[in-house]
Amino acid sequence: MPDAERLLVLLRHGQSEWNLKNLFTGWRDIDLSPTGVEEAKEAGRRMKAHGLRFDVAFTSALIRAQHTLALTLAEMGQTGLPEFRDQALNERHYGDLVGLNKDDARKKWGEEQVHQWRRSYDVQPPGGESLKDTVARALPYYCQHILPAVLSGKRVLVAAHGNSLRALVMVLDGLTPETIPAMELATGVPLVYRLNADSTVASKEVLTA
């Protein structure tokens, strides 16, 4: 694969134990469920089948993203890559909602309030981050570390979380604060971008099963 393709793949971690239980997770360090382990391996198989290779990987400070990255690369026969971990890529912090069942939260605060916390761009849950706050830490990290690697010709894999990856997709896909909250990222499904020299998107492919 020629360096000029400027490859960037974004991968949301596989299902976690708390995804399975429908709990708000945020920065709580919860590992993958058995389903999540299989999703991570399947992502690796899918990328290998598409002939993808990587030079460097970025992930968050949380085990579910790190474990996903390790399983994926093992499946591709690409262990031992340089790997950078940073909490700038962590999931959105849900504050007082962390550890609560989403249905219980709706009973406590009401459907409308919980929906607003989860799906608005700039409304913070009590003690937590809005999507806007998450963008404010993930995006500078992308611009300072991930994008320069891609533009230098390195093939880059980023294994992170639904909301931190939304921040990157927001820029790559040209989404707005109005449209980004509705965009869902499936667990374990690679988003394959190839960038132009000016950092705009030349192509995008979603590697679904």
pLDDT for 11 equals: 98
Q: Which helix (H) or strand (E) holds 194?
A: strand 191-195
Distance CA 142, CA 169 (A): 11
Token code pair at residue 196? 């132009």
Active site residue 91: yes
Catalytic residue among 42, 91, 93, 129: 91
pLDDT for 94 equals: 96
Distance CA 44, CA 74 (A): 8
Active site residue 93: no
pLDDT in tens, the chain (209 residues): 444 689 999 999 999 999 999 999 999 999 999 999 999 999 999 999 999 999 999 999 999 999 999 999 999 999 999 999 999 999 999 999 999 999 999 999 999 999 999 888 999 999 999 999 999 999 999 999 999 999 999 999 999 999 999 999 999 999 999 998 888 899 999 999 999 999 999 999 999 97
Give me the residues paired with residue 193 across strands.
Answer: 8, 204
Out of 3.10.20.600, 3.30.930.10, 3.40.50.1240, 3.90.1150.10, select the CATH number for domain 13-156+171-206: 3.40.50.1240
3-state secondary structure of 24: coil
Distance CA 176, CA 118 (A): 16
Distance CA 17, CA 36 (A): 8
Catalytic residue among 13, 67, 93, 161: 13
